[in-house]
């Protein structure tokens, strides 16, 4: 018999690859943090000699959820200013609070709060963009969650850097520090078309091509953004990105709420990924990304929550449900964007967008054991006809019982193993008192 570290026997397993169907009574074998195999429990018990067997008799085991767009430290601004027009919200509330408070301590505490929330909610990997990314990287690595850390670039100064050149230099130093790290990868993160000029974007494009590093940016978030771009440069932001050579398979364009028919062919042809953030778009009344149309055209669409100041949670189960419902409403078809489609968006498509397809995003032999269990033997998810449908349309994140990243059991039967939750809550509360007094 073949020795493995652990065998997890679950009522259902949804491997996502080769498809998003639930398998009855399947198991996942793990050794050295990686998946050895995924197969029916009856066969796994004959083949493997595990050091440990874990029974999850009324749970679904699936790949960990991938939050493909976050500003993790903004959890500390959750609920600071709600129900306001976008520019009032930003200019009168969020930006002043950031100018006053963003620093290493705030980013450490806010990122830790975000990681605790994400691990509890079944997220094993996030794609972050914020100031002091070296602090977010250190926090994620210490807590054991997988993350792609954005090397943020703006033309405007911040507490972290003065000039675009300084942002880039600091970002590249961070990239060097984490090269080959099992959990932390990096992406260029030019904030948005309206905060980064052509010169900086051209430099990022050259570096991205040379180093084969993804580019994570906000694009076509609102009508206003597009109108101002046309006034200033004559081009819509997508056309400007195309002119600068940025539309490549390495691009992760977040939001894309406004796409014209003639733009679609360029998006498809480029191989770029789109990251859909439906709850943030709905809350800020930004519009809605035409997800059904993009998926039908073969575009890779991932899913993200955006920061907690505009959502206000990092709940990928909730985000999946919103994405499915919104797509049906928007396209006028209840058949658009199925439960399986959104689960793929929240797992494998995120990994593809982030350049992590070989590492995570599905339960396949050789990938890291980034996975979660959801207990369906609870009142809101009974009875079970279809485990995938139940997870997307009925389950809530408090039904996530277990979270593993690279085989480490970070949420074990409902308990966070690497975090002092009461301390995280106390620090969040201290920050509320400080930030509310600005
Ligand atoms: Zn964002």
CB 316 within 8 A of CB 361: no
246 Cα to the center of ligand 1, angstroms: 19
For CATH 3.20.20.140, list the domain ranges present in the chain: 65-353
For CATH 2.30.40.10, list the domain ranges present in the chain: 2-63+369-406
311 Cα to the center of ligand 1, angstroms: 10
Cα dihedral across residues 60, 183, 154, 215: positive or negative: negative
- Which residues are CB-neighbours of 351 under 8 A, at least 6 positions away? 66, 125, 357, 359, 360, 361, 362
70 Cα to the center of ligand 1, angstroms: 6
pLDDT score at 85: 83
One pLDDT digit (tens) per residue for the chain, 438 residues: 999 999 999 999 999 999 999 999 999 999 999 999 999 999 999 999 999 999 999 999 999 999 999 999 999 999 999 999 888 888 999 999 999 999 999 999 999 999 999 999 999 999 999 999 999 999 999 999 999 999 999 999 999 999 999 999 999 999 999 999 999 999 999 999 999 999 999 999 999 999 999 999 999 999 999 999 999 999 999 999 999 999 999 999 999 999 999 999 999 999 999 999 999 999 999 999 999 999 999 999 999 999 999 999 999 999 999 999 999 999 999 999 999 999 999 999 999 999 999 999 999 999 999 999 999 999 999 999 999 999 999 999 999 999 999 999 999 999 999 999 999 999 999 999 999 986
306 Cα to the center of ligand 1, angstroms: 5
78 Cα to the center of ligand 1, angstroms: 14
221 Cα to the center of ligand 1, angstroms: 9
CATH number for the domain whose boundaries are 2-63+369-406: 2.30.40.10
128 Cα to the center of ligand 1, angstroms: 9
- What one-character DSSP code corresponds to residue 368? B
Tokens found for residue 286: 């930004």
- Report the CATH fold assignment for 65-353: TIM Barrel (3.20.20)
298 Cα to the center of ligand 1, angstroms: 24
- What one-character DSSP code corresponds to residue 132? S
Residue 256 sits at φ, ψ, to 5 deg, of 45, 55
Residues with C-beta atoms within 5 A of ion ligand 1: 306
Tokens found for residue 187: 């992406």
Which pTM was predicted? 0.98
Question: Cα separation of 371 and 405, whole Å?
Answer: 7
112 Cα to the center of ligand 1, angstroms: 18
394 Cα to the center of ligand 1, angstroms: 27
How far is the CA of 217 from the CAs of 70, 111, 129, 153, 289, in angstroms? 11, 20, 9, 10, 15
Nearest residue to 102 (alpha-carbon basis) of 76, 137, 70, 69: 76
35 Cα to the center of ligand 1, angstroms: 32
pLDDT score at 438: 67
């Amino acid at each position: 018999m073949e020795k493995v570290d652990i065998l997890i026997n679950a009522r259902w397993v949804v491997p996502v690859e080769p498809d998003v169907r639930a398998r009855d009574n399947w198991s996942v074998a793990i050794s050295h943090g990686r998946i050895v195999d995924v197969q029916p429990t009856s066969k796994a018990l004959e083949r493997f000699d595990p050091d440990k067997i874990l029974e999850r008799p009324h749970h679904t085991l699936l790949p960990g959820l991938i939050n493909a767009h976050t500003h993790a430290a903004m959890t500390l601004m959750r609920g600071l200013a709600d129900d306001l027009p976008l520019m009032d919200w930003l200019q009168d509330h969020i930006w002043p609070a950031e100018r006053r408070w963003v620093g290493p301590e705030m980013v450490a505490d806010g990122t830790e709060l975000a990681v605790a929330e994400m691990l509890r909610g079944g997220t094993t990997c996030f794609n972050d963009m914020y100031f002091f990314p070296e602090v977010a990287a250190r926090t994620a690595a210490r807590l054991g969650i997988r993350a792609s850390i954005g090397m943020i670039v703006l033309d405007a100064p911040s507490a972290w850097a003065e000039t675009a050149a300084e942002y880039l230099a600091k970002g590249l130093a961070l990239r060097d520090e984490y090269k080959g790290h099992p959990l932390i990868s990096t992406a260029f993160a030019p904030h948005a078309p309206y905060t980064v000029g052509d010169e900086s974007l051209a430099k990022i494009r050259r570096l991205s091509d040379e180093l084969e590093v993804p580019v994570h940016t906000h694009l076509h978030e609102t009508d206003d953004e597009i109108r101002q771009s046309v006034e200033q440069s004559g081009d819509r932001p997508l056309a400007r990105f195309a002119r600068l050579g940025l539309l490549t398979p390495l691009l992760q364009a977040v939001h894309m709420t406004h796409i014209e028919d003639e733009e679609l062919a360029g998006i498809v042809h480029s191989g770029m990924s789109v990251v859909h953030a439906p709850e943030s778009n709905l809350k800020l009344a930004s519009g809605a990304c035409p997800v059904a149309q993009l998926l039908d055209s073969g575009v890779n669409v991932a899913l993200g929550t955006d920061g907690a100041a505009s959502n206000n949670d990092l709940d990928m189960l909730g985000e999946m449900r919103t994405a499915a419902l919104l797509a049906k409403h928007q396209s006028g078809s209840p058949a658009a964007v199925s439960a399986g489609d959104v689960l793929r968006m929240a797992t494998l498509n995120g990994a593809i967008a982030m350049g992590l397809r070989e590492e995570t995003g599905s339960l396949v032999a050789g990938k890291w054991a980034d996975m979660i269990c959801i207990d369906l033997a609870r009142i809101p998810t009974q009875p079970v006809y279809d485990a995938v449908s139940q997870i997307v349309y009925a389950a809530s994140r408090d039904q996530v019982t277990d979270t593993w990243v690279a085989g480490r059991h970070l949420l074990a039967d409902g308990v966070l193993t690497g975090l002092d939750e009461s301390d995280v809550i106390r620090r969040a509360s201290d920050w509320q008192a400080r930030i509310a007094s600005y």
